[in-house]
A and B are shown apart, each in its own frame.
Chain A
């Protein structure tokens, strides 16, 4: 069966260190993978998208890697700050879905709750 797993439910990181979150998937052939941030009581907010033919993407202090051989994406936050504390969700789109405009049937992981400790 298809499955998306995020490495841990909760992760505590000291301020200033790099936080690394993992997203593993099985039985998918994703066209792309996305990362979202969700604060308590709020809707998810888009952070980054990486396509299957891209190895790495960066945005300010954020970096995402995508290894289709390992079926894994890593999400890094460098120089972490207490304001980075939130739940981070990975999501992917299976390119086996027709018609695939790129958005429909986006499947989400259960998320990792990241806490940056001052």
Chain B
């Protein structure tokens, strides 16, 4: 049972480049979300989804796109990376109404 799997673990981008952070879960969870974690800021919600075909914005959605075509996958796209997007990104999933979030191990992104 892999849980929540994020790839890549580390990535360095140049300003203006695009990339996709992958997130997959094998627990059949309806709810999936992306957070970013920065020093002194705590975890901040970027986007979330309550099921396939349904996504919504969190606290800091600008510069990021998501889609949810399957229950298992919830990729996060950076269309034009900026240094302000340098952060550690966490994907999390849960059953609806359960409250408990399962997190991936994180993806550390550096934008030069």
Q: A109 touching B58 by the CB < 8 A rule?
A: no
Which of A58-66, A70-78, A98-106 is the contact stretch? Answer: A98-106
Residues on the B chain within 8 Å of A82, using CB? none
Q: Mark A36-58, 1 if CB is under 8 A from B, else 0.
A: 10000111111001000000000
Residues on the A chain within 8 Å of B44, using CB? 108
Q: B103 touching A44 by the CB < 8 A rule?
A: yes
Complex Cα–Cα for A110 and B104 (A): 18
Residues on the A chain within 8 Å of B58, using CB? 105
Given contacts A42-B106, A43-B90, A43-B104, contact A32 B31 (CB under 8 A): no
Complex Cα–Cα for A110 and B41 (A): 6
A107 at the interface (CB under 8 A from B): yes
Q: B102 touching A102 by the CB < 8 A rule?
A: no
Q: A32 touching B42 by the CB < 8 A rule?
A: no
Q: B103 touching A103 by the CB < 8 A rule?
A: no
Residues on the B chain within 8 Å of A106, using CB? 33, 45, 101
Residues on the A chain within 8 Å of B4, using CB? 43
Q: B103 touching A104 by the CB < 8 A rule?
A: no
How far is the CB of B53 from the nearest CB of chain A, in Å?
Answer: 15
Q: B101 touching A109 by the CB < 8 A rule?
A: no
Complex Cα–Cα for A4 and B44 (A): 12
Given contacts A89-B42, A109-B42, contact A103 B97 (CB under 8 A): yes
Q: B42 touching A104 by the CB < 8 A rule?
A: no
Q: B48 touching A43 by the CB < 8 A rule?
A: no
Complex Cα–Cα for A17 and B105 (A): 30
- Which parts of B77-105 form the interface with A (CB within 8 Å)? 90, 92, 94, 96-105
B56 at the interface (CB under 8 A from A): yes
Complex Cα–Cα for A34 and B98 (A): 12
Residues on the A chain within 8 Å of B96, using CB? 101-103
Which residues of B approach A to under 8 Å, CB–CB?
4, 31, 33, 35, 40-45, 48, 50, 56, 58-59, 90, 92, 94, 96-106
Given contacts A44-B101, A49-B99, A105-B48, 12 further A-B contacts (CB under 8 A): A32-B99, A34-B99, A34-B101, A43-B103, A89-B42, A93-B99, A103-B96, A103-B98, A103-B101, A104-B33, A108-B35, A108-B42
